[in-house]
Amino acid sequence: MKTICFYFELHQIRQLKRYRFFDIGSDHYYYDDYANESMTMELAEKSYVPALKTMLEMIRENNGAFKVAFSVSGVGLEMLELYAPQVIELLHEINKTGCCEFLCEPYSHGLSSLASKEVFMEEVMRQNRKIKELFGKKPKVLRNSGLIYSDEIGEMASQMGFKGMLSEGAKHILAWKSPHFVYNCASASNLKLLLRDYKLSDDISLRFSNPEWSEYPLFAETYIDWIAQFPEEEKVINIFMNLSAIGMAQPLDSHILDFMKALPACAAQRGITFSTPSEVIDNHKSVGPLEVPYPLSWMDEERDASSWLGNTLQREAFSKLYSVAERIMLTDDKKLKQDFDYLQAAENLRFMTTKQNGIITERCIYESPYDAFTNYMNILGDFLARVRAQYPDMDNEELGALQQMIENQEVEIVQLEAEVEQLKTKLATKEKKAAKKAAAAPVEEAPVEAPVAEEKPKRKCVRKPKAE
Amino acid sequence: MKVLMFGWEFPPHISGGLGTASYGLTKGFVQQGDVEIKFCIPKPYGDEDNSFLRIVAMNSVPIVWKDVNHDYVNSRIGKVMTPEEYYRYREHIYSDFSYMHTNDLGCMEFAGGYPDNLHDEINNYSIIAGVVARTEEFDIIHSHDWLTYPAGIHAKQVSGKKLVIHVHATDFDRSRGNVNPTVYAIEKNGMDNADHIFCVSELTRQTVIHKYHQHPSKVSTLHNAVTPLEQEILDIVPKKIPNEKVVTFLGRITMQKGPEYFVEAAAQVLKKTKNIRFCMAGSGDMMNDMIRLVAQRGISDRFHFPGFMRGRQVYECLKASDVYIMPSVSEPFGISPLEAMQCDVPTIISKQSGCAEILDKCIKTDYWDINAMADAIYSICNNESLYEYLKVEGRKEVDSITWEDVALKLRRMYEKVLGW
């Protein structure tokens, strides 16, 4: 029996405002509140609310036969909480039906998985806690930003206790293999992989309303027929997309909601069920490991990280941002941590792409990749200066010297502790002797304190030469 | 295909982009093989590159019959024209111009360049064009820029051949809208009489359609290109000041080029950083105003005016720069950013420039948006990756814009006009 696994991503970045270089050092607020409010509200009104309402209806009408998974980025959640709480209400209602699963993802929707293990793990766990708080259940399945996945990332996910990850059924990885099976991570066999069927996913998210498409207009019957016609042994059909595809990329007047609504009934007729990612992982064995040495993603024709890190501009911005990652992990400055989250969002890098693939790149307020880069680097300039104000830059030699000093001090502490022990025992024995003597002649008390007074100058003269 | 071209300047004696464009276009065109170009200019110096076309020296074409012997002609004008040619032209004098001021050879002198009596020179030029058009054999007439439109019209009337005119600039660009009525009249008359009009950019094409009321079907865009740099230029070793960046503006310091926006942007940048120098090379009627403005902003120590540059100096200046900027208020095309990109210099241009239509690997801002311009300068100077990207990719892009491609398009248009 075949099963369809529907998964939708909800995310909205915090838009950066126009930030000139002369603002560096004087203006520490980087966001365009008006754009953020209006864009989030538009997204909610045009897409999220109608789409989620439809899915809620679908679950209720089909008595739970329809199942779906969602993931909301941490930054996206913040935006929805602020500007469109009705979306979160709807998510709660869907959650109550029990026919839905919430997945985990990096809080910032950024590319930390490619930069810093510590940052990645920290923000995934933070998101995990947030989802548990909100929806009551700890996510067991991870989806990385842009569905980026590699063996290394799989290993990290497995270390964090996830049992599955979503990724792209990219041709250059799968070759002759089909995405309609469950695979496992090559370097962590207990982590299962669900791979997106990009053809079926894009049929809905990219092509549905395109009258020039050969399959236009697409009906639910046809769509389910395609799935039913797959070979018997291909059981899992993963359809992943941004929720904004419904309503934004494919406008509502294209009857995309009617299409969605008709899916469960058509599937039932052909004996096809719906599952959440966790159910798929629990009910299906892995057919084998999938080796992914280089990161793959669901973006562009190349299905790799090149839409975020394809040119030198993007790579510089990326490396500059994560150059302070360690210091951000150390700090308690909430504002700084928050800005780091917002600046990490992958879209900031995507705006700088210079790829020419025939599709016009959405660049928001930016006119060109250089414009996007300049604005981002200005903001980063201010941000990095703030980080440095707390944790100044150090060259490696200085850092090495300090580390050496800490190590020396540790050795010294051990030595001194031993010395203290020694002296204490000495003292104890002397005290005993003194007590005995005192019993004989109780006037003499001075020699008892002498060893303690001796200890202090000794410690000082040991530490000084080593610290230099 | 035989083309009679009227132009005003030709390298190496040029004062603007017109000469460079004339050279590139003709050179690209003759690559096609079956092409013969006669290129008329008012005052050749004899050191022009005539290896691929024939230069007609208009100041050596007689309009009054004089009895002069072979040796005398050779000694007088041998540098630019053979006595045989002189005699051939003399056969075709079509009217009595003895009332005009002519020299011992029956020719009219030209001052060259853009002198004060420009309108007289334009008129003289078109009188001589009548002799040339009666003498030479050609299929089509091609007039470069408004100075030669009257000559083109004259040649068309004499020969009955088709006339195409090439708009390298309009008076609307030069004057920010306050056109000189005489110039406008010459331009409009040229366009009205032309069988087809080439514009160096879509921007100019729109001006021609809307301000000169030409039918869109008669007007097409033929973007300029660049000639690859010679080895000698490529070998120039850039002189860079350590730990300092140089931002360069190179062009006539006139209203059209928007120099004051460059000064304002420089002032913004210098508020924030000190290791950038600004250079405004060139001369023009606004130069003194600019020197005053720079002083007013208190940035004279970082803002330099090296004056007019030519030939090799231009490339030395470009190569020493880290950013090239052209904030033109209205630029029909603007070949200089392409030259800067050839010299590996990242470039900022105004969106109001025609070359913005074909360039992608450069930063484009509105000419009035000094904040955006300052931001772009700061960004290139402070982010190595952006500098490198624009340098490398810009070079690649500009290397792919060739006159050969432009000439192919030109050929197709000629054939369309001629109905071949």
Strand partners, A194: A166
**Does residue A9 surpass a pLDDT of 50?**
yes
| List of chain A residues whose C-beta atoms are within 8 Å of the C-beta of residue B371 | 20
Q: Which of B375, B386, B390 sits opposite A21 (nearest CB)?
A: B375
pLDDT band at B3 (very low <50, low <70, confident <90, very high): very high
Residues 398-417 of A with CB under 8 A from B: none
Q: Which CATH number fits domain A3-290: 3.90.1640.10, 2.40.160.40, 2.30.110.10, 3.20.110.20?
A: 3.20.110.20
CB contact under 8 A, A316 and B272: no
Give the closest-approach CA distance of B291 to chain A in angstroms. Answer: 24
Query: What percentage of chain B reaches a pLDDT higher than 70?
Result: 100
CB contact under 8 A, B389 and A378: no
Residue B379 contacts A, CB cutoff 8 Å: yes
Residue B390 contacts A, CB cutoff 8 Å: yes
CB contact under 8 A, A313 and B384: no
Give the closest-approach CA distance of A318 to chain B in angstroms. Answer: 12
Other Cβ atoms less than 10 A from the Cβ of A276: the count is 23
SS3 of residue B53 by DSSP: coil
| List of chain B residues whose C-beta atoms are within 8 Å of the C-beta of residue A381 | 382
- Contact between B224 and B198 under an 8 Å Cβ cutoff? The reply is no
SS3 of residue B18 by DSSP: helix
Burial class (CB in 10 A: 0-12, 13-18, 19+), B189: middle
pLDDT band at A29 (very low <50, low <70, confident <90, very high): very high
**Does residue B75 surpass a pLDDT of 50?**
yes
**DSSP-H helix ranges across B165-228:** 171-175, 181-193, 202-211
User: What is residue B117's DSSP assignment?
Assistant: T
- In whole angstroms, give the CA distance from residue B32 to residue B406: 12
SS3 of residue B240 by DSSP: coil
Between A and B, how many CB-CB pairs are < 8 A? 60
Q: What are A100-154's pLDDT values in tens digits?
A: 999 999 999 999 999 999 999 999 999 999 999 999 999 999 999 999 999 999 9
C-alpha to C-alpha distances, A47 to A128, A247, B236, B350, nearest whole angstrom: 25, 4, 59, 38
What does the block give as tokens for B55?
């230069």
Give the closest-approach CA distance of B268 to chain A in angstroms. Answer: 8
- Contact between A249 and A205 under an 8 Å Cβ cutoff? The reply is yes
Task: Give chain B's domains with CATH numbers.
Answer: 2-225+403-418 (3.40.50.2000), 231-399 (3.40.50.2000)
| List of chain A residues whose C-beta atoms are within 8 Å of the C-beta of residue B269 | 21
What does the block give as tokens for A438?
């005192």
What does the block give as tokens for B8?
């005003």
Q: What are B349-407's pLDDT values in tens digits?
A: 999 999 999 999 999 999 999 999 999 999 999 999 999 999 999 999 999 999 999 99
Residue B308 contacts A, CB cutoff 8 Å: no
State residue A362's pLDDT score: 82
Q: Which of B375, B376, B385 sits opposite A313 (nearest CB)?
A: B385
CB contact under 8 A, A370 and B268: no
Q: What are B277-288's pLDDT values in tens digits?
A: 999 999 999 999
State residue A446's pLDDT score: 52
| List of chain B residues whose C-beta atoms are within 8 Å of the C-beta of residue A317 | 385
| List of chain A residues whose C-beta atoms are within 8 Å of the C-beta of residue B386 | 313, 316, 370, 373-374, 377
CB contact under 8 A, A370 and B376: yes
Q: Which residue, among A22, A363, A375, would best test binding to B if mutated, counting the most B CBs under 10 Å from its CB?
A: A22
What is the largest distance, in Å, between two alpha-carbon atoms of chain A?
113
| List of chain B residues whose C-beta atoms are within 8 Å of the C-beta of residue A375 | 375
The mean pLDDT value of chain A amounts to 90
State residue A363's pLDDT score: 84
Give the closest-approach CA distance of B385 to chain A in angstroms. Answer: 5
ipTM over 0.85: no
Give the closest-approach CA distance of A316 to chain B in angstroms. Answer: 6
SS3 of residue B220 by DSSP: strand
Q: What are A206-260's pLDDT values in tens digits?
A: 999 999 999 989 999 999 999 999 999 999 999 999 999 999 999 999 999 999 9
CB contact under 8 A, A312 and B388: yes
CB contact under 8 A, B371 and A20: yes
Residue A315 contacts B, CB cutoff 8 Å: yes
CB contact under 8 A, B272 and A24: yes
The secondary structure element, H or E, covering residue B154 is helix B149-159
State residue B240's pLDDT score: 85
State residue A458's pLDDT score: 46
- In whole angstroms, give the CA distance from residue A108 to residue A11: 10
Give the closest-approach CA distance of B398 to chain A in angstroms. Answer: 17
C-alpha to C-alpha distances, A238 to A277, A280, B98, nearest whole angstrom: 9, 10, 92
State residue A27's pLDDT score: 92
Q: What are B196-232's pLDDT values in tens digits?
A: 999 999 999 999 999 999 999 999 999 999 999 989 9
Give the closest-approach CA distance of A377 to chain B in angstroms. Answer: 8
What does the block give as tokens for B382?
């402070």
